[in-house]
Structure 1
């Protein structure tokens, strides 16, 4: 984990878009709590997370933040919230902090992490 790069990313995001920073910070907490040895790195304009393998990333855009799942196409989607048409990746769009709970993010993160660790 490169803590100083991540902190610089968060500080810059806070300066540019405080609402997005709140979403990203909360998502980061959820992902890091999913297992004791989650690695994180700045890549592709966001934060990528891995356990045994990469499993998700958080990316701020102009109007929203996405939580992207590396192998999201193979995840169970009982809430029918995963978006995307690619072979592997799926994402959930978040517009405000309450969306994190409303869209069952912790459940999807846990499924993705378990799949990465299998």
Structure 2
């Protein structure tokens, strides 16, 4: 079985929720603005982001969108929006499109890439 394409996953998300689709697309757009080069792949039910190394991803759930950071535990969380208590990963939950701004997601993206690069 071939892996699902990013476009196919986006179509599935849109079918389930226009708001989730808009939020996932806004997250993708933000990451594309902040990280170059950037590649995406569908894995684990979400879209993973890489720039020489995988550093995070975006996942749509029933009640929220989760932006995951592979080495999020290494990020200095001055704004206090990171969630999770695992050894490595952290995430930010987005319930609405405006949460992208209120959680200062743009500040976390470059930090997530730096944290992943520092782990190699």
Give the TM-score category using the shorter length.
Answer: over 0.9
Aligned length: 115
Match of 1:94 in 2: 94
Matches within 5 A, 1:1-118: 5-118=5-118
TM-score by length of 2: 0.91
- Distance in 2, matches of 1:80 and 1:19, equals 25
Measure the CA separation in 1 of the matches of 2:114 and 2:52: 10
* Aligned-residue CA RMSD (Å): 1.2
**Secondary structure in 2 aligned to 1:63?**
coil
Runs of 5+ unmatched residues, structure 1: none
Asked if the contact 1:51/1:116 (under 8 Å) is kept, the reply is: no
Q: Deviation at 1:5?
A: 1.0
For residue 101 of structure 2, give the secondary structure of its aligned residue in structure 1.
helix
Q: Which runs of 4+ in 1 moved over 3 A?
A: none
Alpha-carbon distance in 2 for matches of 1:35, 1:46: 18
Q: Distance in 2 between matches of 1:88 and 1:35?
A: 21
* In 2, Cα distance between equivalents of 1:112 and 1:60: 19
Deviations 1:62-89 (A, max 9, x none): 1001000000000010001100010000
TM-score normalised by the chain length of structure 1: 0.92
Gaps of 5+ in 2: none
